[in-house]
Structure 1
Amino acid sequence: MTAPMDVPSSAPEAQPGAVLTGAGGSIQGRSLRQIAWLRLKRDRVAMAGGVVVAVLVLAALAAGVLDKLFGLIPTTAFNQDLIDPDLQIPKGAFGGISLAHPLGIEPTSGRDLLARIFAGSWISLLIAFLATMLSVVIGTLMGVVAGYFGGWVDTLISRLMDVFLAFPLLVFALALAGVVPDNAFGLSGDVLRIALLIFIIGFFNWPYIGRIIRGQTLSLREREFVDAAKSLGARQPYILFRELLPNLAAPILVYSTLLIPTNILFEAALSFLGVGVRPPTPTWGGMLSDAAHYYQIDPEFMLVPGLAIFVTVLAFNLFGDGLRDALDPRAR
């Protein structure tokens, strides 16, 4: 029988770090934010939508500054010499497109369409963003409270959501915007109309995101970290805002990007029906309403604001879908 071989005590032990280093360097951990960003970068369609959204936001911010503070955007400059006096349509083909007016001019007035689209962008995006923020704040607060406490609190808030969802919002918006005078609540002019639209769109749309947050909260309140916080004596406000709310950041962000284009369309619809921001301040919906009278003789007049709304809504939807897939790949 052979004796077992003795292993020298001086033999070095293999270290896991040495193996990893020899394989090409140490492994670095990645946060959930970094992982989501890597997934989002791989989605070229979503990144293209994000680039368009960024360009639109920068253009709207620039338009607001240039138009309101410095008056450098000629939204009310009339060019009657470019209008056919007999037909009252722009001279030349394709709605009077030229180097001076790349998107053409309006019939009868001769106002530059590019300047009016550029100036109207900040109104549409401002109303959509602020209305979405209002909806998100109310919906998140109501959804978290209903999902966490349950019982009669959940029943009361859920029935309130049902009432708001069944409310004829468009009819109410038409009635409220039509009866509010030009001076009310210490506001007047465009500021009053913008504030009124933000209130109507934001306050009555919160149940959509509220239901989503409620469902997520119902799932999160049974998780181990909530039980651990309770066992350590954490109070309910701490659990709501320090434990649950950070874990709801992803769905809040995703559904906010999907709610913004809906609000853009709703603002355009109200302006189209004549209860939005009033002329001569340009809005995309108001330009579509004016173009409805000339679509047979000058279809390009309707095409420009229609494409502006279409491209903006499409870019937000593509970016929102990509962001949802990046933050929750299981939802694909």
Structure 2
Amino acid sequence: MSAPLDLSGSAAEAQPEAVVTGGVPVTGRSLGQIAWMRLKRDRVALTGGAVVLFLVLVAVFAPLIVALLGHPPNEFHQDQVSPDLQIATGPFGGVSKDFLFGVEPINGRDLFSRVVYGARISMIIGVFSTLLSVVIGGTLGVTAGYFGGWVDTVLSRLMDLFLAFPILIFSIAIAGVAPDRAFGVSGDALRVLLLIFIIGFFQWPYIGRIIRGQTLSLREREFVDAARCLGASDARILRAELLPNLFAPILVYFTLLIPTNILFEAALSFLNVGIRPPTATWGQMLSDATQWYQSDPWFMVVPGTAIFITVLAFNLFGDGLRDALDPRGG
């Protein structure tokens, strides 16, 4: 017969996790910590996130940055423009230590300052219009997916109606006939609020359909059935059971919808129905540059590159965030 096991030593007194890990206790990790560990391994997503953070800081501190490195965005510098050709005298649009991105044709306004202030307009409209879309689309999507029946039918048909609507044409019509003053607001502030409303209100069905689909899946899960058996009300189930599980997809599509709305704002400004001159916007700068693409192509390169980098950074960060929060959905 084999000798009985001796359990009187230190091994019997050791905790199970200490035995397995060689004396190092095992600590649990939250879903947020696990997602952050995945995101840290995605260097492309982190690079996109760093660029997004940089753009946010540029938008917030635009006046300080321009005061240190540029000139007032609407200040003319005609001494930097050739009197014959009406374009910058130096190469690459007159790039120099005083004009980091060069100057505009004819009037010589500082392109660096105008790109920095254009970033502020694009970020404000892109972020807040997306937030409006998420609030409307998330609320209606959760309502349709959870209650189902005639509620789901009505809200789903409403989403289909908005998705089939010619949004760009309708947005141009609204922005083109909007008054110069309303509700005690005028000027650029009114145009910014108007664009936030137009873009946010007409983009909500995209995220609404996604949240509806997620809610249809979640409402059949065991934890929702358990909450119903315990007598939880619909409001409590929505607030305590569904919304925490919907936070990740909402966050992901929030980051992915921002560049779409930034492009929408640039398109409206390009068509001269967005923010009105002389306020700097990337779309308006591109619209002005179309008249000079042969003699001064640099004027088009600067705002076009700014839009490209911004949209690319948000998309890379959003894709990485989606993979980190839901690796099975990638």
SS of equivalent residue, structure 1 residue 108:
coil
For 1:136 and 1:9, the matched residues in 2 are separated by 60
Once the two structures are TM-superposed, the CA of residue 17 in structure 1 deviates from its matched residue by 3.8
Deviation at 1:119, TM superposition (A): 1.0
Map of 1:290-309 to 2, 5 A cutoff? 290-309=288-307
Q: Distance in 1 between matches of 2:196 and 2:63?
A: 17
Alignment counterpart, residue 176 of structure 2, candidates 166, 178, 182: 178
What SS does the aligned partner of 1:99 have? Answer: coil
Question: What aligned pairs does 1:164-203 form with structure 2 within 5 A after superposition?
Answer: 164-203=162-201
Q: Distance in 1 between matches of 2:175 and 2:142?
A: 32
Structure 1 counterpart of 2:217, one-letter code = S
- Is 2:20 the partner of 1:20? yes
Q: How does 1:63-102 map to 2 (within 5 A)?
A: 63=62, 74-102=72-100
Give CA deviations for 1:194-216 in whole Å, capped at 9, x if unaligned.
Answer: 01100100001000000000000
- What are the equivalent positions in structure 2 for 1:219-238 lying under 5 Å apart? 219-238=217-236
Shift of 1:20: 3.0
Partner SS state of residue 26, structure 1:
coil
Residue 29, structure 1, aligned to residue 9, structure 2: no
Equivalences for residues 218-257 of structure 1 within 5 A: 218-257=216-255
The amino acid that maps onto 1:32 is L
Counterpart AA for 2:47: A
Q: Is the 8 A contact 1:20 1:27 kept in 2?
A: no
Task: Quote the offset at 1:4 in angstroms.
Answer: 7.3
Q: Distance in 2 between matches of 1:28 and 1:189?
A: 56
Separation in structure 1 between the aligned mates of residue 233 and residue 311 of structure 2, nearest angstrom: 42
**Distance in 1, Cα, partners of 2:79 & 2:179:** 37
Is the contact between residue 201 and residue 263 of structure 1 (CA under 8 Å) also seen in structure 2?
yes
- With over 3 angstroms needed to count, the CA separation of the structure-2 counterparts of 1:26 and 1:109, relative to structure 1, is same
Q: Does the aligned pair in 1 maintain the 2:17–2:26 contact within 8 Å?
A: no
Cα pair distance change 1:233/1:59, threshold 3 Å: same
* C-alpha distance 36-7 of structure 1, shift in aligned 2 (>3 A): closer
Q: Does 1:60 align with 2:59?
A: yes
**One-letter amino acid of the counterpart of residue 32, structure 2:** R
Query: Displacement of 1:13 after TM fit?
Result: 6.0
Q: Which amino acid aligns with 2:188?
A: D
CA 1:64–1:200: 2 relative to 1, 3 Å = farther
Give the partner amino acid of 2:35: A
The CA distance in 2 between the partners of 1:96 and 1:11, in whole Å, is 81
Other structure's SS at 1:204 match: helix
User: For residues 197 and 42 of structure 2, what CA distance do their matches in structure 1 show?
Assistant: 35
Do the aligned partners of 1:274 and 1:286 also contact (CA within 8 Å) in 2?
yes
Percent identical among aligned pairs is 66
Deviates more, 1:42-51 or 1:180-189: 180-189
RMSD: 1.9
* Partner secondary structure for residue 205 of structure 1: helix
Letter in 1 for 2:199: I
**TM score, norm. by length of structure 2:** 0.95
| Contact map agreement 2:71 2:110 (CA 8 A) in 1 | no
Q: Tell me whether 1:42 sits opposite 2:36 in the alignment.
A: no
CA distance in 2, matches of 1:100, 1:8: 82
> What's the counterpart of residue 283 of structure 1?
281
Matched AA of 2:39: L
Q: How big is each residue's C-alpha offset from its partner over 1:15-41, in whole Å with a ceiling of 9 and x where there is no partner? A: 4244135x2511111111000000000
Q: Gaps (5+ residues) in structure 2?
A: none
Distance 1:94 1:155, change over 3 A: same
Q: Deviations over 1:186-240 (max 9, x none)?
A: 2110011001100100001000000000000000001111111111111111111
